[in-house]
Structure 1
Amino acid sequence: MSTADAVFAALTPTIEGIVATFGRSCEVVLHDYRDQERSVVAVAGSVTGRVPGDAMSEIGLRVLAAGDDARNEVGYLTRAQDGRVLKCTTLPLRDVDGTLIGALCINIDMSAITRATGVLSDLLGLSAAEETTATTDFSGDLDQVVESLVKRAERAHAVPVAALGRDERLTLVRSLHEAGVFSLRGAPARIAKRLGISRTGLYNDLAELKKDQP
């Protein structure tokens, strides 16, 4: 058994204990990044609807892209596509050599706490805080995750990607790069097809972005 296999074998029963401790609002997802298309190897609880065999989310892409620089991200907020606010923790997993092999993700549905906070705010005469939490795609399909990122860019520019000028497209490609999409195997072909350009055109865009990096 490899070191990575031993890590996942040890953590698989552990995630059930974490969920049992925090209750039904908690979900724990174990990712094995050696299989990017089916990185989810175990799930305890049900908050985002993830199941074994699903792909990583936008959050996973970000961790994968960070590679050796990936660090624990604890207690950050995001929003599921159905509008629920989630408090999440992402813990990168490494083998004995320090190579990134996966991640342990804890997602807590804040709906009940949010409702209780609203009631208390009303009773105390306080104004509810404005929520600006970004939405995360937990669909479990990498093509759908990429599609969500592209559509977000379309909304930001208020035009479809096919109508973007070169500078606007470079901004979009930069955002996809920063989101970790290009860490995926076969990403250039996927992205080029979605943007309606050739792979050569996409590689030229990436080369242009590299010129701007210090």
Structure 2
Amino acid sequence: MTASARDAERDAILAALAPVVHGIAATFGPVCEVVLHDYRKPEASVVAVAGSVTGRTVGGAMSEIGMRVLARGDDAADELNYVTRTGAGTRVKSSTMVLRDSAGAVFGALCVNLDVTAVDRAQALLGALAGAAGGGTAEPPVTTFGDDIDSVVDAIVDDRLRRQDQTWAGLDRTRRLALFRSLDEQGVFAVRRAVEQVAARLGISRASAYSYLAQSRTTAPAEGDRS
């Protein structure tokens, strides 16, 4: 199949799914948001959206979850019923279903996001009324959702630095390579101009960022390297 024929097929799949986006959101009501992504355009992957849980709009960027799927390429699998939080504290239960063309190549995703904040509050209240002890369950991770890809990339970089518990200046070469390797595995560098943005966020030159990225791809990770 030629590249143009493949693109036409993918466009047809996305067009066929657009009504489905609105149908699912209408079925579940105001607590539901459905987002259709075209990964051929990471910086503006949202091609259809219904509902407003994460505030996405058409033409907006993918989240770090989408970047992770993009990084896995054709090996990506559906991610179902995972829980995360928005920066504003909204608790979201989501499913991300990858889209494939007839050759099996991943090119997009259909994402369903449910705001379960009220459900969790009701559950906690019922537990308190029933005299159940507090479970102390761990909070789900915060995920940055936004139409601006720059904010998503910045959030991922900041999160990786927090995990290292150091500033960039405080990292040795091994941990700097680990940081770039982690960002690469997350799919950050699939985004146009991401290397330049990461360099600016870390306060290093663009040439240094490209050098660390190249070295991270050719150097085997040390034991316990991955975060």
- TM, length-normalised to structure 2: 0.86
Distance in 1 (alpha carbons) for counterparts of 2:162 and 2:14:
39
Match of 1:137 among 121, 140, 144: 144
Residue 49 of structure 2 is matched in structure 1 by 43
What CA distance in whole angstroms lies between the structure 2 residues aligned with 1:117 and 1:16? Answer: 29
Q: Provide, for residues 109-158 of structure 1, a one-character-per-residue CA deviation record: whole Å limited to 9, x for no partner.
A: 01121011011110122214423211000022111111111222333344
Q: Can you give the 5+ residue segments of structure 2 that lack an aligned partner in the other structure?
A: 223-227
Shift, 1:213, TM fit: 5.0
SS class of match (1:212):
coil
Residue 219 (structure 2) pairs with residue 211 (structure 1): yes
Residues 19-98 of structure 1 correspond to what in structure 2 (within 5 A)?
A: 19-98=25-104
Deviates more, 1:126-135 or 1:86-95: 126-135
Which range moves more in the overlay, 139-148 or 163-172? 163-172
Name the Cα RMSD after superposition.
Answer: 2.0
Question: Does the CA contact (< 8 Å) of 1:32 and 1:39 recur in 2?
Answer: yes
The match for 2:195 is 188
Asked if the contact 2:43–2:192 (Cα under 8 Å) also holds between the matched residues in 1, the reply is: no
> What is residue 167 of structure 1 aligned with on the other side?
174
The aligned amino acid for 1:49 is: G
Q: Which letter does structure 2 place at the counterpart of 1:205?
A: Y
Structure 2 distance, partners of 1:108, 1:129, is: 23
* CA contact 1:118–1:128 (8 Å) conserved in 2: no
The one-letter code matched in structure 2 to 1:42 is A
User: How far, CA to CA, are the matches of 1:44 and 1:185 in structure 2?
Assistant: 27
Q: Secondary structure at the match of 2:114?
A: strand
Q: Which amino acid aligns with 1:154?
A: L
- The one of 181, 198, 209 equivalent to 2:205 is 198
Alpha-carbon separation, structure 1, partners of 2:166 and 2:201:
14
Q: Which has the larger displacement, 126-135 or 25-34?
A: 126-135
Partner AA of 1:141 in structure 2: D
95-104 or 81-90, larger mean C-alpha shift: 95-104
Q: Distance between the aligned counterparts of 1:11 and 1:19, measured in 2?
A: 13
Using the TM superposition, name which of 70-79 and 165-174 deviates more. 165-174
Specify the code of the residue in structure 2 equivalent to 1:198. Answer: S
Equivalence for 1:177? 184
Q: Counterparts of 1:14 and 1:153 in 2: how far apart (Å)?
A: 36
State the alpha-carbon separation in 2 of the partners of residues 161 and 26 from structure 1: 39
Q: 2:124 aligns to what?
A: 118
What SS does the aligned partner of 2:109 have? strand
- Secondary structure in 2 matching 1:88: strand
- Identical-residue share of aligned pairs (%): 49
Contact 2:153-2:194 at 8 Å conserved across structures: no
Distance, in Å, in 1 between the alignment partners of 2:186 and 2:214 is 17
Report the alpha carbon displacement of residue 89 of structure 1 after superposing the two structures with TM: 0.3
Deviation at 1:42, TM superposition (A): 0.7
Alpha-carbon shift at residue 168 of structure 1 (Å): 3.4
Q: Which amino acid aligns with 1:211?
A: T
- Shifted more, 34-43 versus 186-195: the winner is 186-195
